[in-house]
């Protein structure tokens, strides 16, 4: 479970940095709030997974699945791969990785 916790932390940090970058580049407060909020929730669930909580893994899985949907909708609206297309793919990979860890 420790490897999964590290993966969740990395994904959470990427979400936090993405939210900060969205704010810095285009002044999007929504990106800042959602990116930092989701990232912090992922970091917290990573700590839970580190301590052996299967429920925390489910939380990370649900957050990643939600972000797949959000980023996919934004990609369909904007048709721009960067950053939303890339984040949709990253979130889909996270869903697969977290799902496989949960299945074990």
pLDDT, position 55: 96
Report, as an integer, the average pLDDT of 66-91.
94
Q: What six digits make up the tokens of 95?
A: 């869903």
List the domain boundaries for the chain.
Answer: 2-103
Q: Is pLDDT of 104 > 90?
A: no
pTM beyond 0.75: the answer is: yes
Whether the Cβ atoms of residue 60 and residue 8 lie closer than 8 Å to each other: yes
pLDDT, position 1: 75
pLDDT tens figures, 35-71: 999 999 999 999 999 999 999 999 999 999 999 999 9
Q: Is pLDDT of 25 > 80?
A: yes
3-29: burial string, b at 16+ Cβ within 10 Å, e else: ebbebbbebbebbbebbeebbeeeeee
């Amino acid at each position: 479970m420790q490897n999964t916790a590290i993966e969740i932390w990395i994904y959470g940090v990427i979400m936090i940095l993405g939210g900060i970058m969205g704010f810095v580049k285009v002044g999007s407060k929504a990106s800042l709030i959602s990116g930092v909020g989701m990232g912090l929730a992922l970091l917290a669930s990573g700590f839970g997974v580190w301590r052996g909580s299967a429920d925390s893994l489910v939380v990370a899985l649900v957050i990643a699945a939600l972000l797949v949907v959000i980023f996919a909708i934004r990609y369909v609206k904007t048709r721009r791969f960067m950053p939303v297309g890339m984040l949709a793919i990253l979130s889909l990979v996270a869903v697969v990785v977290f799902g496989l860890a949960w299945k074990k």
